[in-house]
Structure 1
Amino acid sequence: MATPKLSVILSTYNQPEWLEKVLWGYEYQTEADFELIIADDGSSEETQRVINHFQNQSQLKIVHVWHEDNGFQKTKILNKAIKASTTDYLLFSDGDCIPRKDFVEKHLLNRAFGYFLSGGYFKLPMHISEMITEDDIRHERCFDVEWLKKHGLKSSFKNNKLTAQGAKEKFLNWITPTEATWNGHNASGWKEDIVKVNGFDERMQYGGEDREMGERLFNLGIKAKQLRYTAICVHLDHARGYVKPEMLKKNAAIRKTTKETKSVYTSFGIRKS
């Protein structure tokens, strides 16, 4: 069997209802030649049932990488997922971000040696997040600004993310003041580069843990390409009960060291020193 064109690595933790919607998004991609690796940070059996359902009925190759729940360990499960991947190009997103049907295709079209790709997300309010059905995903209603406005979405410049195409899309990617960084919900890069910097730093919990790996990629000489208005996913709303001030403080200190020492490698990543 031929190796797929890329691996999509999706992080999740006990959000089976959101994960199901996201998996429908990957079912309806214009580019289907990819493997889907679910990096599961210790979810319960309900999430396992959702994944089993898709594994049984989907044409996609879906791999479930899981470890026991021991607090916020996203970096550890992502490193396990990187090791489980079989392709040379990795696209990272979250189990609460529904991809537009051209999401995988756009990442493939824009990949380039010496670069990683940096996309964003479009935040949906809770009431719209809850009402989206498989049919809304299949027919792309959840990416249609007019449909979203009918259901209470407010007018905003950010709505351009869902409507920009062609010259407008390129122009907005060029002028956006948002820096192109490694964003865990929408970023892709060459596996070789990610392995060179040793993946994610497993000392880190919530707060900049994705960006820190991107900062090591920058230190390695890899540049970032802005795809904020090109590779589109919508973010389903949820509470963040797992965020603790001490996590943020610890992560900020690690990122500060990475920047000051221009570090390209972590000893706390895929390979342990």
Structure 2
Amino acid sequence: MKDTVEIPKISVIVSTYNAEEWLQKVLWGFNQQTFKNFEVVIADDGSRDATKELLEQMSKEVFYPIVHVWQEDDGFQKSRILNKAVSSCAAEYIIMTDGDCIPREDFVQVHYINKEEGYFISGGYYMLPMNISKLITLEDIQKQNCFNINWLKEKGIPQTFKNNKLTANGLISKLLNWITPTNASWNGHNSSGWKKDILNVNGFDERMQYGGQDRELGERLFNFGVKSKQLRYSAVCVHLDHKRGYKTPESIAKNVGIRKDTKREKRVWTFYGITK
């Protein structure tokens, strides 16, 4: 029986749009978490009824509460639905990820134990090709096979440096987090921060469609004085492959312009966010 009275320690926002097969795998992943005191808030950018039906079914199968936040389909409006999801979060601390990223069993715990006032956390992901994305089953997620580099190699994953994302632990993962040249930016697929900080910069800029709206939020957090922690080798999820039909040169160009303005003017607040 789920306790509806207790406020969860963590709210996990999962964005989705008409991708039930992938979303189910992600929800299975959250059902394996070692840290249990969280809710999952689905930020649904206008999916068909099949997503709602899946969530009703999964609510009966998983230990955590699922909150479904939906808006009418109006093209790619991820920033808008994420703002609605942030407003719906019950916890003071929010993890954001996508409905195509299966979390490793320690995913929520790593975010939880590393959270700190005045910081947000930047995690990474491990990209999987389509054939492996398809063949991952519930059992593979329960046994954590999809995070096991030997299992993945058997399926054809090549030997590359990025495999360290799955194999590194303890001091090695700390060292790799420290030396990586990648910026500790706000990444929509794997980041976390305090709800009050996100509200203080007014959430996502809803003018922004595909391409960098997550980074722009992070840039305003930096301007506000929030620092970031690099945990790309500690907070681990695997990214399932998919097409990106919503990626257009126009949306990328528009977003690049908005990000330039944010940096140049050291903007903290967007007038196109949660508070209109």
- TM bracket (short chain): over 0.9
**1:23 and 2:27 equivalent?**
yes
Q: Cα offset for 1:147?
A: 0.3
d(CA) in 2 for partners of 1:59 and 1:144? 24
Partner of residue 98, structure 1: 102
The equivalent position to 1:85 in structure 2, one of 78, 85, 89, is 89
Q: Which amino acid aligns with 1:13?
A: Y
Q: Name the CA distance, whole Å, in 2 between partners of 1:45 and 1:192.
A: 33
Q: 1:130 aligns with which of 110, 134, 138?
A: 134
Report matched runs for 1:140-151 at 5 Å.
140-151=144-155
* 1:5 counterpart letter in structure 2: K
- Give the aligned length: 272
Correspondence for 1:110? 114
Q: Tell me by how many angstroms 1:49 deviates.
A: 1.5
The Cα RMSD (Å) is 0.6
2:48 to 39, 44, 47: 44
CA displacement, residues 218-271 of structure 1 (integer Å, 9 cap, x when unaligned): 000100000010000000000101111100010000000000000000010000
Q: Which residue of 1 aligns with 2:209?
A: 205
Equivalent AA in structure 1 for residue 142 of structure 2: R
Report percent identity of matched pairs. Answer: 59
| 1:61 and 2:65 aligned | yes
SS at match of 2:153: helix
Q: What CA deviation, in whole Å up to 9, does each residue of 1:27-83 have, x standing for no partner?
A: 110011101000000011111121111112322110000011110000000000011
Q: Which residue of 1 aligns with 2:178?
A: 174
Q: Deviations over 1:142-193 (max 9, x none)?
A: 0000000000101100000000011101100000010100000000000010
Q: 1:71 is aligned with what amino acid?
A: G
2:225 paired with 1:221: yes
Q: Find the aligned partners of 2:113 and 2:206 in 1 and give their Cα distance.
A: 31
**Counterpart in the other structure of 1:8:** 12
1:253-268 counterparts in 2 under 5 A? Answer: 253-268=257-272
- Identify which of 149, 161, 164 aligns with 1:157: 161
Q: For 1:123 and 1:254, locate their aligned partners in 2 and report how far apart those are by CA, in whole Å.
A: 28
* TM-score (normalizing by structure 2): 0.98
Q: How far apart, in 1, do the equivalents of 2:53 and 2:133 lie?
A: 21
Q: Tell me, which stretches of 5 or more residues in structure 2 are unaligned?
A: none
- Residue type of the alignment partner of 2:67: V
Deviation of 1:2 (Å)? 1.9
Distance in 2 of aligned mates of 1:41 and 1:155 = 36
For 1:112-160, what per-residue CA distance to the aligned partner results, in whole angstroms no more than 9, with x for missing partners? 0010000010000000000000000000000000000000101100000
Q: 1:234 and 1:53 mapped to 2: Cα distance?
A: 24
CA distance in 1, matches of 2:257, 2:168: 37
2:183 partner letter: E
Structure 1: where are the runs of 5+ without partners? Answer: none
**Secondary structure at the residue paired with 1:194?**
helix
Partner of 2:12: helix, strand, or coil? strand
Q: Distance in 2 between matches of 1:121 and 1:53?
A: 27
| CA distance, structure 2, for counterparts of residue 15 and residue 54 of structure 1 | 14
Asked if 1:250 corresponds to 2:250, the answer is: no
Q: Give the 3-state SS of the residue equivalent to 2:90 in structure 1.
A: coil
- Give me the whole-angstrom Cα distance separating, in 1, the residues matched to 2:47 and 2:147: 28
Q: 2:156 aligns to what SS in structure 1?
A: coil
Query: Normalised by the size of structure 1, how large is the TM-score?
Result: 0.99
Letter in 2 for 1:251: N
For 1:142, what is the secondary structure of its paired residue? helix
In 2, distance between residues paired with 1:28 and 1:58?
A: 9
